[in-house]
Structure 1
Amino acid sequence: MFKREIELSGHIIDSLVLSKTFDIVMDKGGDFEVLDISVGKNKSDISRAKMAVYAENLDKLNEILDELSAIGVSIAEIKEAKLVPSPKDKVLPEGFYSTTHHTTHVLYKGNWLMVHDIEMDCAVVIDEEKEEAYCRPIGSIKKGDMVVVGIDGVKVSRPQKPRGKTNAFEFMNSDVSSEKPLMSTVKDIAAEVKRIKANGGKIAFVGGPAIVHTGSQGVVANLIKEGYIDVLFAGNALATHDIECDILGTSLGINVKTGEIVTNGHSHHMRAINKINKSGSIKNAVEDGTLKSGIMYELVKNDVPFVLAGSIRDDGPLPDVITDTQEAQAAMRKYVQNVDMVFMVATMLHSIAVGNMLPSSVSSVCVDINPSTVTKLADRGSAQVLGVVTDVGAFLPVLYDAIHSDD
């Protein structure tokens, strides 16, 4: 049997890390022995455990250790991170360490280096000249990049679940239910928004077209105007229907104010795109008076950056939409590492995409009438996301009022 000793530290019982460790070892066909354990008695105390993990061969042991590393378990025997050069562009060496979105450090020349720009499903590259570590997606790997291989010298720190939780953001979680008390959750979210902005933090907003369909684009526009949104991520649809609403008063051909179907309204979104194409860009449309209100208008008027990532099904698309997915990812990555909170509202694909890029330390809220949107985020590893299952048309005005409340 092959053996390695591991260590666990933190709120390992409340966060279920200890039980998950047992499950992973047994599910992978290994065995374990608890060598030492110390359980914190007070709410502020942390617990520690030291275990021996066994497997029938080295590959199986490394497979177990790799999965344990993803939940924050450390190897007891401290070794330097192993570096192997990339053999060619966009190719990683065999056995490369695949990152989580949790805070990560690597041991290099006796120093624990924090990995910059951390996100899940990437690699760790060491800049040997600067002696700094960076998280890099496979598409950004260059030949000769020094890549961390294996889990030796890698330390992952998960967000801890403290005892005595009183606020939704004291431990972000992905529990999903439409039966949660909405108002208390909204108050917690509003309090987090105000705390972050009071401390000079930044908030990103990821939105889908249902925001416009439900008549809530005015709320989002006001949040932008008042400085609560610092960057917006969306697709062609949100921008198109927001612009359609301003120019023609409809969203998907439905009158936003009356809910009535408008004659030939099915073509309105294409007419809106054509108007913007004539101006040349959304910014030009604001400047030449074509676009006079709405989400995209406020983004331009208040110099708030936005990234519109396209998809294969887009009509048009608008001239500002980035149709190359790699370019869209790169554009989003310029902002996600510098935000303190993210709202993901009524868009499954863009929520999952942004969730995959976020460090787990970022306060995140996903609002959708479809519970599977939040569930899929959790399945992809974004377990820190607070899920709110409700109609966005009801949620956004309540949130806006809560943000402006003195309570």
Structure 2
Amino acid sequence: MTVARSVELEGHIIDSGMMQRCFGVVMDLGGNFDVEVFDVGKHKDEESYCRMIVQADDEDQLREILHELNQNGAHLSDPPNATLEPAPEDRVVPDGFYSTTNHPTKVRYDGEWLPVENIEMDCAVVVDPDGPRAYTKVLNAIDEDDLVVTDDAGVRVDPPERPRDSGGPFGFMQGGVSAERPSESLIRQIAEAVAETKAEGGSVLAVPGPAVVHSGAGDALARLVSEGYVDMLSAGNGFAVHDLESGRYGTSLGMNVETLENPRKGHKHHIYTISEVIRAGGIHEAVEEGLVDEGVMYECVENDVPYVLAGSIRDDGPLPDTMTDAVEAQNAIREQAHEADLVLMLATLLHSVAVGNCLPSTTRVVCVDINPATVTQLLDRGSAQAIGMVTDIGTFLPALAETILDE
């Protein structure tokens, strides 16, 4: 005996590929479907609507199909309230808890849809009846008796639809990877996206790696910070150390970034820099003492641009400003990510993926790295909204800064 439920799709479901994906989900999982209603939007600004009956051999198979359909934007025609179970103890979630995607999500509570606040992937959803409100919590932040959403009944996921055309400053951001050298037109489009974000009062988060300094592109990023085009910075201890080393000694990992020469004792410069900043008490104090008078970190201090430096097991020093507690660093990165409207990920695999994990799918992302694995891993990890460029950051970043600042 078969079981069946009615599901609905609406929006630009044809050109976004949503309908095709949903049909494929049902067939791949061994189910059947019967389209009852299909209203096609005949103009580019009109939406389409589809209602279909999904059939399966048993409840378990149907539940699996409906789960996958929900992740792709198809919703039950008669959704129930979300199932809530109290957390049995701190940092422990109920069995079968709903694990979030990074897409905009709602949960149904007492007959109403509550938007899930601070959406990001791989979190639990907690409902506060006093609001009522729904919000995400990472597992280590769960408190005993938190009402946690279990299963995905009463959960609605709305993946962002891709734009119908490439018009507008953000039209080009449709995901994917470009392995070409940075073209003038693509850099101009990214520059327009940054300018548009700022004009609308949004925030730009920069996520640079040490290669920004090694390649000689640190000055370009510093200019963007000083001119107000970067509102927040998230990086590792290594980036800050080599940026400060460059400002202090003109070298990065002991090499002069302009002449490419290795001065005598240059290999000790980054250790000297760390020692001097520690002696000063931190980056802010080093800037105030005049120890450093240029560079990205200098401009962050001078222009009150907040930064998060997350440590790792490899760090020399580390600097006093570096967060060595991984959970503390995650939470600090998460706060920045939730505030960002546009993220520039610049030649750093670990921090690109770390920040990407905290971003909702509605946040615009540009990822640039000479290693294609960085870009593809970011996209594969779930940040499908990112546009990726496989190119030299030392070429890309100065060209981007020049395009933004000269217009």
Structure 1 residue 56 displacement after superposition: 3.1
Secondary structure of 1:50's aligned partner: strand
Mapped partners of 2:154, 2:306: distance in 1: 38
Mapped partners of 2:345, 2:144: distance in 1: 36
Preserved CA contact (<8 Å) 1:161 1:171:
no
Mapped partners of 2:38, 2:378: distance in 1: 33
TM-score (norm 2): 0.95
1:222 maps onto 2:220 in alignment: no
TM-score (norm 1): 0.95
Preserved CA contact (<8 Å) 1:207 1:346:
yes
Mapped partners of 1:51, 1:324: distance in 2: 50
Instruction: Identify the residue that residue 171 of structure 2 maps to in structure 1.
Output: 170
Letter in 1 for 2:252: S
Structure 1 residue 164 displacement after superposition: 2.8
Instruction: Identify the residue that residue 114 of structure 2 maps to in structure 1.
Output: 113
1:155 maps onto 2:145 in alignment: no
Over residues 234-282 of structure 1, what are the superposed CA-to-partner deviations in whole Å (9 max), with x where a residue is unaligned?
Answer: 0011101001111121111111110112333322211211111111211
Secondary structure of 2:178's aligned partner: coil
Letter in 2 for 1:367: V
Structure 2 counterparts to residues 225-240 of structure 1, below 5 A = 225-240=226-241
Secondary structure of 2:318's aligned partner: coil
Instruction: Identify the residue that residue 100 of structure 2 maps to in structure 1.
Output: 99
Instruction: Identify the residue that residue 298 of structure 2 maps to in structure 1.
Output: 297
Mapped partners of 2:84, 2:268: distance in 1: 56
Instruction: Identify the residue that residue 386 of structure 2 maps to in structure 1.
Output: 385
Structure 1 residue 4 displacement after superposition: 2.2
Preserved CA contact (<8 Å) 1:160 1:171:
no
Mapped partners of 1:60, 1:311: distance in 2: 43
Preserved CA contact (<8 Å) 2:347 2:393:
yes
Instruction: Identify the residue that residue 397 of structure 2 maps to in structure 1.
Output: 396
Preserved CA contact (<8 Å) 2:25 2:68:
yes
Unaligned runs of 5+ in 1: none
Instruction: Identify the residue that residue 328 of structure 1 maps to in structure 2.
Output: 329
Deviation >4 Å, runs of 4+: none
Secondary structure of 1:176's aligned partner: strand
Q: Which moved more, 1:275-284 or 1:169-178?
A: 169-178
Instruction: Flag the 1:123–1:378 CA change in 2: closer, same or farther, 3 A.
Output: same
Instruction: Identify the residue that residue 38 of structure 2 maps to in structure 1.
Output: 37
Structure 2 counterparts to residues 5-404 of structure 1, below 5 A = 5-167=6-168, 169-170=170-171, 172-179=173-180, 182-404=183-405
Over residues 208-242 of structure 1, what are the superposed CA-to-partner deviations in whole Å (9 max), with x where a residue is unaligned?
Answer: 00100011111111111111111100001110100
Preserved CA contact (<8 Å) 2:356 2:383:
yes
Mapped partners of 1:171, 1:144: distance in 2: 45
Mapped partners of 2:28, 2:321: distance in 1: 48
Preserved CA contact (<8 Å) 2:172 2:189:
no
Secondary structure of 2:329's aligned partner: helix
Secondary structure of 1:53's aligned partner: strand
Mapped partners of 1:92, 1:337: distance in 2: 23
% identity of equivalent residues: 50
Preserved CA contact (<8 Å) 2:182 2:389:
no
Preserved CA contact (<8 Å) 2:124 2:139:
yes
Secondary structure of 1:373's aligned partner: helix
Instruction: Flag the 1:351–1:157 CA change in 2: closer, same or farther, 3 A.
Output: same
Structure 1 residue 366 displacement after superposition: 0.6
Instruction: Flag the 1:180–1:246 CA change in 2: closer, same or farther, 3 A.
Output: closer
Secondary structure of 1:68's aligned partner: helix
